[in-house]
Structure 1
Amino acid sequence: MSVTERVSSALAERMAGARGVLAAPARSARTTVVIGRLLATAFLVCFLTGLYSHLLQEPLPGMRFPTWPGVYAFTQGLHVSVGIAIFPLLLGKLWTVYPRLFLWPPARSARELLERASIALLVSSALLEPAIGLVNTYQWYPWPFPFRQTHYALAWVIVGSLAIHIGVKLPTIVRFWRRRSTATDRSVTDD
């Protein structure tokens, strides 16, 4: 047996052990889909209210918005409130899929490699976006980049990577959208 095969088998055993330790009844595909539904809705609300705010501040040529009193305050309040609510939803979703980090080998095909890369982009931008938004509510800018433009660009990255993620996971989402979890649904790693 070559060194590579020994290292790979040792890593496979350790990763399987880590997945076993992390096993929990709440870590099911159904739980992941339910939290993902809430999280996608929250991101959509934040995206639409943020887009409204952005277009009010930098309207496209010929674009006019009605200036009803309180509409901007309502949409910004909704944007910030839902943006803060994203934190526990995102952490809950990551908790349900955490054992998938310990799959070995990490990618079995080019498709799976692309899927994991798109998920890495989604997770990193989804963690960064509400974090810099929350820091913005304190009007503290410890970074060298312009907040508004970066926040706007990250929103489009999230929407695009979320669309890819939903497209890839659509069979799982459809399977667990409405039905209750069963004992066979325990493993999130089967997806």
Structure 2
Amino acid sequence: MRRTPFSPSFWRSPLRGPWLTSVLGVVLLGGITVLFVTGLLSYAAYNPDLSAVNDKTPGKGLLGFYLFAWPTDPHWLYRLTQGVHVTLGITLIPVLLAKLWSVVPKLFTLPPARSLAHALERLSLLLLVGGGLFEFVTGVLNVQLDYLFPGSFYPLHFYGAWVFFGAFAAHAALKMPVAWRNLRRMREEERTGSPGPALGPAPAPNPDPDPDPPTVSRRGALWLVGGGSLLLFGTTVGQDVDGLRWSAVLAPHGADPGDGPGGFQINKTAAYAGIGAADRSEENWRLTVTGRTGTVRLSHADLLRLPLHSSALPIACVEGWSTSDQWWRGVRLRDLAALVGHDGDPPDLFVESLQRHGSFRRAALRANQVADPRSLLALFVNGETLTPDHGHPARVIVPAAPGVLNTKWVARLTFGDLP
């Protein structure tokens, strides 16, 4: 008789069973929860409720219930949360694939629903498999800086995350008691040779009553999965660790502009942004600053005559890469606010760039970000004038903010009037 995926004899691997599925499920329970939380934090860091230009997922409705004003302390906060999000996501890929492999026979069981609880389990499983693959695929494509998936990454990944995690939470609520019981049974059997009466009879070990001979043990399979995760971790984590960037072969850690004071990662070049030599000429460039008392226009030389301050801050990008602290020097944003009548607590800030191509040509910053004494309109980095690719003649640098909000090639600052 011809075997089909709907017959138990189609799935003949002896490794499939409650033990392997339970172990992988427990790992994913912790890992995916961390992924979801750090992903939500990444979205909050963009301050989407502040201005439409910051919000890449309009129409989120109740899904934005948790949003809060993103802090500036500690200054490495976004570097940590987004680094964990991307590195952990890549590291969990072998675990996710192994988990899907272990449960794939359940997708083909007949009848489709034996009870309401079984129907809910099947639905959560379908959403879990589809949502998991969708989230990991779109995330990896975005990390590779060559996003090819149709549609914008931000809304697809955000809405997909809620669908996936909702299915994940429902599935975990239904299955985690069974998983913990299976793990306790296995530990008890290893210790005493019997699971004990309190744990009941062991579940069927495999969907096929006559599986193929084993080619590797269950522990060997876990070592294989763990080794794959460790390999991905080792070839990804270097994007955030000084001295190990050479090892991040699976995580492009920003374009490398070379050596020297400006020799640290960037996500877009001046050429890509359409910034020519004439645009960034210090003789021709002017900064327009608007606020309560009107508008002032400042040349590069004018800015150099204002009090200059220094800050040691990293650049951290949504793709997961980040730099170490770089020494920036320039005019405090709150001092520029004072020039146009905001002498006390400065208001929110709308920043516009000379950039002609690509996203985030405009960005909004919260008042707490403007007020932080480390927030600068930077003119120098590491003791030298900004390079063209790092935003010459002037760029914003703010502690703990995503890299795209640290606008380069700044042309206009508007205090207190957000679109």
* TM-score, normalising length: structure 2: 0.38
Cα shift readout 1:28-80 (whole Å, capped 9, x = no counterpart): 21221111111121111111111111101025566241332322112211111
Q: Distance between the aligned counterparts of 2:18 and 2:25, measured in 1?
A: 10
Q: Distance between the aligned counterparts of 1:123 and 1:73, measured in 2?
A: 30
Q: Distance between the aligned counterparts of 2:82 and 2:177, measured in 1?
A: 35
* Cross-structure match for 1:27: 16
Say which structure is richer in helix: 1
Percent identity between matched residues is 35
Q: What is the SS of the residue equivalent to 1:180?
A: helix
Distance of aligned partners of 1:73 and 1:95 in 2 relative to their CA distance in 1, 3 Å threshold: same
* 8 A Cα contact 2:22 2:179, kept in partner: yes
* 8 A Cα contact 1:23 1:99, kept in partner: no
Q: Distance between the aligned counterparts of 1:109 and 1:52, measured in 2?
A: 38
Cα shift readout 1:137-173 (whole Å, capped 9, x = no counterpart): 1222323322112211111112211111012214312
Q: Distance between the aligned counterparts of 2:46 and 2:182, measured in 1?
A: 41
Say which structure is richer in strand: 2
* Cross-structure match for 1:159: 165
* Cross-structure match for 1:18: 10
* TM-score, normalising length: structure 1: 0.79
Unaligned ranges ≥5, structure 1: 1-9
* 8 A Cα contact 2:23 2:183, kept in partner: yes
Q: Distance between the aligned counterparts of 1:177 and 1:59, measured in 2?
A: 43
Question: Of residues 118, 124, 139 in structure 1, which corresponds to 2:124?
Answer: 118
Question: Of residues 23, 28, 31 in structure 2, which corresponds to 1:39?
Answer: 28
Output the amino acid matched with 1:15: S
Output the amino acid matched with 1:51: L
CA RMSD of aligned residues (A): 3.0
Structure ranking higher on relative contact order (CA contacts 8 Å, 6+ apart): 1
* Cross-structure match for 2:102: 96
Q: What is the SS of the residue equivalent to 2:137?
A: helix
Unaligned ranges ≥5, structure 2: 51-67, 190-200, 208-419
Equivalent residues, number:
179
How far has the Cα of 1:188 moved from its partner?
5.3
